[in-house]
Structure 1
Amino acid sequence: MTEQLFVGFHHFAMRTPDLQRSITFYEALGFRQVHEWTLPDYGIDRAVMMQAADTKSWIEIFDLKASIPMQGRGAKVGQVIVTGALAHICLTVNDLEKACARIVEVGATHLHGPENLGLGQPEVSVQNAIFEGPAGEVIELLQHVRFPSDLPGSA
């Protein structure tokens, strides 16, 4: 039997022109802010992680200045590249090293990482890597992590 490396959907990430407005909007939909951080090396002045009411998925929100891997290809030759709000999808993995090898084996293109990042206060240590999927989608693989304010029962 093959070891199950990919656990499930973790979060989608988005950029927004009005971070607080987006936070307020998702709070109204039942999400709650569970962590916040800055990463100046990536142009991130403020980012937040918001947990869904079912405690099994999250939304990661950045402002527009965040320099993060994003999809941005035109659909037709000569079409202007437009980057929308969706930045990437993220999958939780049990073993980042093995999952990185597997995703490349099945056709993804390696873009960045693995790397270790310290996010926010209290600091949350995350291990991740970034890939491009077969349709050009940006996929983050994230070693299983819990944020300080996650509710019990979180993935």
Structure 2
Amino acid sequence: MGGHFQGLGHVAIYTRDIGESAAFYEALGGEVTARGSVPTPGGEKELALVSFGGITLELIRSPAPVQMGEGSIPHIAILVDDLDAAAAKIRAAGVDTFMTPEKKVLPDLFGGLENWFFTGPSGEQIELLHML
């Protein structure tokens, strides 16, 4: 069975406003590569694919509130080669939603890492991750 898996297809993120979320990820250097919608019993579900940080994000605006529980993905992590420079670029793009005033340096976790979390426009948590 292992030979059939080709890699990560995308990470789905529910959003309150798909235009605002698309603009947010574009301001960080992402690119919207496709848009579409899917009919559901509650109305149209809006979708957008954004190429960002070497992965594809699928932004989803559901016509009805989405309940999150166990099994929900708590955050996405974007690998960076320089955490301070990446954070500075994000701040320069107008993002001021870093969850702590300073990055965390964890030299004994997973061989050593530093990270810094911020939030997107719908509250999604994004981790900037640099492996030491």
TM range (shorter): 0.3 to 0.5
Provide the TM-score with structure 2 as the length reference. 0.44
Provide the TM-score with structure 1 as the length reference. 0.38
Q: Which has the higher contact order (CA 8 A, sep 6+)?
A: 1
